């Protein structure tokens, strides 16, 4: 009987831990920019640390029970994260890195492999075919580009500064094999990009310094505003804030159960969780 009670106690404690990961903010992060949840529930957070300081950036892993470890280090200014298979990909300043499950990493796409040398690689997103999409926010006001990187590392340009709408592409979200959502950090506009011809359709405006985008399976879209400190819900074509006063909320993610928005708050050095309906 005593044995059974111990087993029950252990199971009960395990459940509590799993469900409380999102109940408390995580603190003492080093300029966090992006977060992603792996299939097994672990979170990966990119930490820029010093801006424009090379080799001090890292990826932190937070397990489902809240245990924190440094997963990979020695990066420059790591930002957007994507997972393909067992590997984590990182947009690191002007190159894209591949991190293996043991935390060792190598350069997947070097800066000089891009059609234009990137100035500020920002968000990263993967599709179901194993392609990556990466935004270059350029000088953060006039230019930039969005590129597609196939599984062999070959790059094609989706949009670049030749389109007047492209000022500082930041957040990316792959909707399907033909469409990508992007939010512009300079204009605060949200666009749907046709991946076959690069055409942009404006969906909504008013997202300030638009940073991260998430979209639920039921089609609800949320966008973070790095400059203004709010998280917006796109409600009937309008940007409506659901939470404000964050000190630079960067590249948001959804939890797997779609119950929480995960918010890396860059200048506060925290990871916060917003429960959504
Ligand atoms: Ca750095
Ligand atoms: Ca970003």
Please tell me the predicted confidence (pLDDT) of residue 64.
Answer: 83
Pairing between β-strand 270-275 and β-strand 57-62 as defined by DSSP bridges: unpaired
Please tell me the predicted confidence (pLDDT) of residue 3.
Answer: 54
Please tell me the predicted confidence (pLDDT) of residue 14.
Answer: 40
The CATH number of the domain where 160 resides is what? 2.120.10.30
Please tell me the predicted confidence (pLDDT) of residue 18.
Answer: 44
Pairing between β-strand 145-149 and β-strand 155-159 as defined by DSSP bridges: antiparallel
Q: pLDDT tens string for the chain (277 positions)?
A: 555 554 444 444 444 344 578 989 999 999 999 999 999 999 999 999 999 999 999 999 999 888 999 999 999 999 999 999 999 999 999 999 999 999 999 999 999 999 999 999 999 999 999 999 999 999 999 999 999 999 999 999 999 999 999 999 999 999 999 999 999 999 999 999 999 999 999 999 999 999 999 999 999 999 999 999 999 999 999 999 999 999 999 999 999 999 999 999 999 999 999 999 7
Distance 123 CA to ligand 2 centre (A): 5
Backbone angles phi, psi at 116, to 5 degrees: -125, 135
Distance CA 190, CA 44 (A): 26
Distance CA 24, CA 68 (A): 14
Question: SS in 3 state form for 49-99?
Answer: CCCCCCCCEEEEEECCCCCEEEEEEEECCEEEEEEECCEEEEEECCEEEEE
In degrees, rounded to 5, the angle at the alpha carbon of residue 245 between the alpha carbons of residues 274 and 210 is: 80
- The number of distinct structural domains making up the chain is 1
Distance 247 CA to ligand 1 centre (A): 19
Please tell me the predicted confidence (pLDDT) of residue 5.
Answer: 52
Distance 159 CA to ligand 1 centre (A): 27
Distance 136 CA to ligand 2 centre (A): 10
- Who's near 163: CB < 8 A, 6+ residues apart? 198, 200
Distance 230 CA to ligand 2 centre (A): 14
Q: Which ligand is nearest to the CA of 55?
A: 1
Q: Which ligand is nearest to the CA of 58?
A: 1
Sign, Cα dihedral of 14, 66, 171, 232: positive
Please tell me the predicted confidence (pLDDT) of residue 159.
Answer: 98
Please tell me the predicted confidence (pLDDT) of residue 10.
Answer: 47
Distance CA 264, CA 154 (A): 30
Q: Which ligand is nearest to the CA of 54?
A: 1
Please tell me the predicted confidence (pLDDT) of residue 277.
Answer: 79
Distance 14 CA to ligand 2 centre (A): 33
Distance 54 CA to ligand 2 centre (A): 18
Q: Which ligand is nearest to the CA of 137?
A: 2
Range of the domain at 126: 2-275
Residues around ion ligand 2, judged by CB within 5 A, are: 122-123, 170, 211, 251
Distance 51 CA to ligand 2 centre (A): 14
Distance 17 CA to ligand 1 centre (A): 32
Q: Specify the long-range contacts of residues 6-15, CB closer than 8 Å, at least 24 apart.
A: 14/65
Residues 246, 263: contact at Cβ < 8 Å? yes
């Amino acid at each position: 009987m005593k044995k059974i009670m111990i087993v029950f106690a252990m199971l009960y404690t395990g459940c509590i831990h799993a469900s409380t990961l999102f109940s408390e903010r995580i603190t003492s992060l080093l300029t966090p920019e992006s977060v992603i949840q792996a299939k097994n529930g672990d979170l990966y957070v990119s930490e820029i640390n010093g801006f424009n300081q090379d080799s001090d950036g890292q990826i932190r892993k937070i397990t489902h029970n809240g245990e924190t470890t440094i997963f990979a280090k020695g990066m420059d200014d790591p930002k957007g994260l994507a997972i393909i298979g067992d590997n984590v990909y990182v947009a690191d300043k002007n190159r894209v890195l591949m991190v293996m499950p043991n935390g060792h990493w190598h350069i997947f796409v070097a800066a000089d492999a891009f059609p234009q040398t990137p100035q500020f690689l920002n968000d990263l997103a993967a599709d179901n075919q194993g392609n990556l999409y990466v935004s270059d926010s350029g000088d953060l006001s006039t230019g930039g580009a969005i590129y597609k990187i196939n599984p062999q590392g070959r790059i094609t340009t989706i949009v670049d500064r030749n389109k007047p709408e492209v000022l500082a592409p930041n957040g990316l979200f792959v909707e399907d094999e033909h469409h990508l959502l992007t939010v512009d950090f300079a204009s605060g506009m949200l666009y749907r990009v046709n991946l076959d011809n690069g055409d942009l359709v404006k969906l909504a405006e008013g997202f300030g310094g638009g940073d991260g985008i998430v979209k639920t399976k039921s089609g609800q879209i949320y966008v973070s505003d790095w400059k203004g400190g709010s998280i917006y819900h796109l409600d009937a074509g309008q940007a409506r804030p659901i939470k404000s006063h964050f000190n630079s909320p960067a590249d948001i993610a959804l939890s797997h159960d779609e119950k929480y928005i995960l918010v890396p708050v860059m200048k506060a050095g925290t990871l916060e969780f917003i429960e959504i309906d």
